A and B are shown apart, each in its own frame.
Chain A
Amino acid sequence: MSVPLLEARNVLKSFGGVRALKGVSLAVHPGEVLAVIGENGAGKSTLMKILAGVQGPDSGELLVDGKARRIGSVQEALSLGIALIHQELNLAETLDVGANIFLGREPRRFGLIDSARITREAARVLEQVGLAVRPDTLVSDLTIGQQQLVEIAKALSIHARVLIMDEPTSSLSGHEAQNLLRLIGELRAKGVGIVYISHRLGEVHGLADRVEVLRDGENAGHLARTEISHGAMVKLMVGRDLSQFYPHQVHPKGQVALEVCELRTRAHPKQTVNFSIRAGEVVGMAGLVGAGRTEVLEALFGITPPLAGEVLVAGETVKYDSPRGAIKAGLALVPEDRKHDGLVLEMGVRENLSLATLERDQSWGFLGRAKERALCEEMIPAMRIKTPNTEQPVQFLSGGNQQKVVIGKWLATRPKVLLLDEPTRGVDIGAKQEIYRLMEELAASGVAVLFVSSDLEEILGMSDRTLVLHEGRLSGELLRSELSEEAVMQLATGAERKISPTLS
């Protein structure tokens, strides 16, 4: 076999007390697509950042063309021909395409930026990636898919030999994704080594020459081209059968707990959304990034009040224009970005847990301190929050424990409807399973659970019923019996499907 373009040997990396990588190795050869898969929190993104010089490893070795190298910065990685295309695109939106492609290494003439050369060379790489826009187009005027291609053009312009792509298709439409996959095939034929991270196992199946599976910061196994199958990949990813991993059970369904009629969000004012959820039901909401899932939750929770529509909780119309009102109506939201929206990071576990129930537990405006302590004594074991004490600032907890604090805060309000936005993002596998268990327990106790997820396995594993959004519209509804990855993806990319009669 040829000498690997890029190889990592026994890489370790910790953040605070959390060990993200516990000795991972992988190698990518010229002209191959190496898919790296694994659950959220398996360490994929961390490993990619280390390969691309965004972060340094605590220990371990990186080899380029068989020679040990220190990749101390993104600049060094780029000079070695290694380019990372981030999950979140890193383009300067207010600059044009050409300026973005040459950002930080602008060709100069007489000390000034040589715009003519930028335009000329940008046009050349844009043509290579098949993007028909002029180099002076503003990035903010491009679609997400086009922006992705700009990122790739940028990588080509530095003659990247290793291209690391972190979830490149997660925000693309079906057509755009096809285009990208075709481009990856072309780059492979030219001898570029591609490290491809994806949650979409179908895509990996079609594209990868080899698959490397990570689990809990370790190599869980690898598959050669002929061994790649959906079942084999899932088994290596979760380390056990899916049916055991997801504690899904069917609970007796009660009355309709949440009914949403003709809801129009600000993001998609032309579409109306209608659905209802019964007490005890766990409903998943799937869709591509930008399909409007978070917007629906935020409208329901009063963060961005909807333009129109009616919301009924337990059969009664409720009206509010703030989270405060939504909470009073019996709703709770575990937000997507827990550090920004869910927690006061510098405050302790106790203060975070009681944040939404201070008003209820007050006496004449004074803090109900006994009730607050009682809440901690109840929630910390019930949520299995691992913390040295109740006063530990939550910023020093792991992602999973932080998320459990957020969920505990909402359970304290005894909601009728629990909304969760990407509840297991950035959470390790153990905590993930505990979060699923909590969702199940809540449903069993008669709470209506609605969760948004980009993780199809999670949707498949946890939901009684799945709502799929496409460009702000509810493009379909799948019962558990009809649920499959293909069915969800079809609806998410805009295929029509009759909505099965609601259960009410």
Chain B
Amino acid sequence: MKKIFGILGLLLVVCLVTASLSDSFLSAYNVENVLRRSALFGILSIGVAFVIITGGIDLSLGSVVCLVGCALPWLLTVHHWPLIIALPTVLALALAIGLFHGLLITKLRIQPFIVTLCGLLLYRGIARGFTGDQTVGFGNEFKSLRLLATWKLPFLPGFDLPAPLLFLGVVAIVAAVFLNRTIFGRYLLALGRNPQAATYSGIPTERMTVLAYVVSSGLAGLGGVLFVLDVNSAQPVDFGNFYELYAIAAAVLGGCSLRGGEGSIAGVLVGATLMQVLRNMITLVTTRNNVEFAIIGAVILVGVIADEIARRIAARHRAAQALQNAQA
């Protein structure tokens, strides 16, 4: 819980700095925009958080975003599939990819890093293959479908809530309840911390691990659909590029430990928002977008270092107290 206040503080500081440097940061248009981007990335981040909690990693989700984001308009506009078939197909494809990863990792015991790294290469390659590297998009059609991502819920005068935020709300609530209130959530947290002890306690660790990868790829699929509806078209070469890294960074900033077993959905949401505010700050404040990665990298590093230092101070404090108790 304490962890989330740290990252929340960091988010607040970045917001204040940006607001003081740029007048347009707090404009309704910009806030809506940041919120929409945060919501889209938040969905991906929650997915990868599940995998990180098991102690694994999912590097493939940017490519899953690309595959799904290209496949949907491709099926609809090039092959004229009915929407009612095309949409479930691409989502099922994403879930199947997760299942495939999960089985390779648990049954064949291939390292998650390798499996999902190959996925990263594979799915983007496939998307580039079937589209012939050409941009696919909806053009002027499917306006009603695009409302899924572009619709706005009137909220305050002059300020609306973007639709992806509603999707994120549902995903986040379900994920948080799952993680904290169900036995399966407890299973995930236990196996992430100590898979051995979890197995010895009768927890179906392999099934739970597979589930985590299915959730990760499934939410990447949902994200892919929303992303492509949002921007209206997808270029297979770079659609979803580096999204896995944004998502992983958001999860880690939000308190997920790459060692596994640690993480909260609320933290991940704050982390995802922080990432997008940082990107927004760079666009608004500087004229040079090319420093984006450097700044994001530096902020994450500072956050992680601060967290580690706080952890060590706490540990030392606890040891001192224990010694005092023992001598009393």
Task: Give me the interface of A with B, judged by CB distance under 8 Å.
Answer: 14, 16-19, 301, 303, 322-324, 326-328, 333, 335, 340-347, 351, 355-356, 358-359, 362, 365-367, 396, 409
How far does the alpha carbon of A323 sit from the alpha carbon of B261 in the complex, in Å? Answer: 21
Q: Given A358-B186, A365-B183, do A345 and B194 touch, yes or no (CB 8 Å)?
A: yes
Q: Given A17-B325, A327-B202, A396-B322, do A342 and B197 touch, yes or no (CB 8 Å)?
A: yes
| Chain A contacts for B319, CB-based, 8 A | 16
Considering the complex, give the chain A residue whose CB is closest to the CB of B178.
Answer: A365
Q: Give the top 4 A-B pairs by smallest Cβ distance, nearest first.
A: A17-B322, A327-B202, A358-B183, A355-B201
Asked if A344 and B194 make an inter-chain contact with CB atoms under 8 angstroms apart, the answer reads yes
Asked if B190 and A324 make an inter-chain contact with CB atoms under 8 angstroms apart, the answer reads no
- Decide yes or no whether B72 CB sits under 8 A from chain A: no
Q: Given A14-B326, A366-B181, do A344 and B198 touch, yes or no (CB 8 Å)?
A: yes
- Decide yes or no whether B65 CB sits under 8 A from chain A: no
Asked if A303 and B322 make an inter-chain contact with CB atoms under 8 angstroms apart, the answer reads no
Chain B at the A interface: mostly helix, strand, loop or mixed?
helix
How far does the alpha carbon of A18 sit from the alpha carbon of B325 in the complex, in Å? Answer: 10
| Chain A contacts for B181, CB-based, 8 A | 366-367
- Decide yes or no whether B193 CB sits under 8 A from chain A: yes
How far does the alpha carbon of A341 sit from the alpha carbon of B193 in the complex, in Å? Answer: 11
Q: Given A324-B204, A355-B203, do A344 and B326 touch, yes or no (CB 8 Å)?
A: no
| Chain A contacts for B198, CB-based, 8 A | 344, 355
Sample of 15 more A-B contacts, CB < 8 Å, known A19-B326, A323-B201: A14-B323, A16-B323, A16-B326, A17-B322, A303-B199, A323-B202, A328-B202, A342-B197, A343-B194, A358-B183, A358-B186, A365-B182, A366-B183, A367-B181, A367-B183
How far does the alpha carbon of A356 sit from the alpha carbon of B318 in the complex, in Å? Answer: 29
Q: Given A14-B323, A17-B325, A365-B182, do A345 and B193 touch, yes or no (CB 8 Å)?
A: yes
| Chain B contacts for A18, CB-based, 8 A | 326
Considering the complex, give the chain B residue whose CB is closest to the CB of A361.
Answer: B183
> B interface, how many residues as a size bin?
20 to 34
Q: Given A14-B326, A16-B322, A17-B326, do A344 and B190 touch, yes or no (CB 8 Å)?
A: yes
Q: Can you list 12 A-B contacts (CB < 8 A)?
A: A17-B322, A17-B323, A19-B326, A303-B199, A322-B199, A322-B202, A323-B202, A342-B200, A355-B198, A355-B203, A358-B203, A359-B202
| Chain A contacts for B196, CB-based, 8 A | 340-341
Asked if B322 and A344 make an inter-chain contact with CB atoms under 8 angstroms apart, the answer reads no
Q: Given A324-B203, A351-B190, A365-B183, do A346 and B261 touch, yes or no (CB 8 Å)?
A: yes
**Per-position 1/0 for B202-224, Cβ under 8 A of A:** 11100000000000000000000
Asked if B183 and A347 make an inter-chain contact with CB atoms under 8 angstroms apart, the answer reads no
Asked if A359 and B183 make an inter-chain contact with CB atoms under 8 angstroms apart, the answer reads yes
How far does the alpha carbon of A333 sit from the alpha carbon of B197 in the complex, in Å? Answer: 11
| Chain A contacts for B200, CB-based, 8 A | 301, 303, 323, 333, 335, 341-342
How far does the alpha carbon of A31 sit from the alpha carbon of B182 in the complex, in Å? Answer: 65
Asked if B261 and A367 make an inter-chain contact with CB atoms under 8 angstroms apart, the answer reads no
| Chain A contacts for B326, CB-based, 8 A | 14, 16-19
* B318 interface neighbour in A343, A358, A396, Cβ under 8 Å: A396
- Decide yes or no whether B74 CB sits under 8 A from chain A: no
| Chain A contacts for B138, CB-based, 8 A | none
Q: Report A386 CB to chain B, min CB distance, Å.
A: 12
- Decide yes or no whether B187 CB sits under 8 A from chain A: yes
Determine which residue in B181, B186, B202, B323 has the highest number of CB atoms from chain A within 10 A of its CB, and name it: B202
Q: Report A326 CB to chain B, min CB distance, Å.
A: 8
Q: Report A328 CB to chain B, min CB distance, Å.
A: 8
| Chain A contacts for B151, CB-based, 8 A | none
| Chain B contacts for A355, CB-based, 8 A | 186, 190, 197-198, 201, 203
- Decide yes or no whether B184 CB sits under 8 A from chain A: yes
| Chain B contacts for A19, CB-based, 8 A | 326
Asked if B322 and A341 make an inter-chain contact with CB atoms under 8 angstroms apart, the answer reads no
| Chain B contacts for A346, CB-based, 8 A | 193, 261-262
How far does the alpha carbon of A351 sit from the alpha carbon of B323 in the complex, in Å? Answer: 26
How far does the alpha carbon of A359 sit from the alpha carbon of B194 in the complex, in Å? Answer: 18
Q: Given A14-B323, A396-B318, do A367 and B202 touch, yes or no (CB 8 Å)?
A: no
Asked if B204 and A344 make an inter-chain contact with CB atoms under 8 angstroms apart, the answer reads no
How far does the alpha carbon of A347 sit from the alpha carbon of B190 in the complex, in Å? Answer: 8
How far does the alpha carbon of A14 sit from the alpha carbon of B202 in the complex, in Å? Answer: 35
Q: Report A247 CB to chain B, min CB distance, Å.
A: 27
Q: Report A357 CB to chain B, min CB distance, Å.
A: 9
How far does the alpha carbon of A244 sit from the alpha carbon of B261 in the complex, in Å? Answer: 44
| Chain B contacts for A333, CB-based, 8 A | 200
| Chain A contacts for B325, CB-based, 8 A | 17
Considering the complex, give the chain A residue whose CB is closest to the CB of B187.
Answer: A358
Considering the complex, give the chain B residue whose CB is closest to the CB of A359.
Answer: B183
Asked if A323 and B184 make an inter-chain contact with CB atoms under 8 angstroms apart, the answer reads no
Considering the complex, give the chain A residue whose CB is closest to the CB of B185.
Answer: A367
| Chain A contacts for B201, CB-based, 8 A | 323, 327, 355-356, 409
| Chain A contacts for B194, CB-based, 8 A | 340, 343-345
Q: Report B108 CB to chain A, min CB distance, Å.
A: 17
Determine which residue in B183, B190, B322 has the highest number of CB atoms from chain A within 10 A of its CB, and name it: B183
Considering the complex, give the chain A residue whose CB is closest to the CB of B180.
Answer: A367
* A351 interface neighbour in B184, B186, B262, Cβ under 8 Å: B186
Q: Report B259 CB to chain A, min CB distance, Å.
A: 10
| Chain B contacts for A351, CB-based, 8 A | 186, 190
**Per-position 1/0 for B25-43, Cβ under 8 A of A:** 0000000000000000000
How far does the alpha carbon of A327 sit from the alpha carbon of B184 in the complex, in Å? Answer: 18
| Chain B contacts for A328, CB-based, 8 A | 202
| Chain B contacts for A345, CB-based, 8 A | 193-194
**Complex interface residues of chain B between 48 and 100 (CB less than 8 A to chain A):** none
| Chain A contacts for B186, CB-based, 8 A | 351, 355, 358, 367
**Per-position 1/0 for B314-328, Cβ under 8 A of A:** 000011001101100
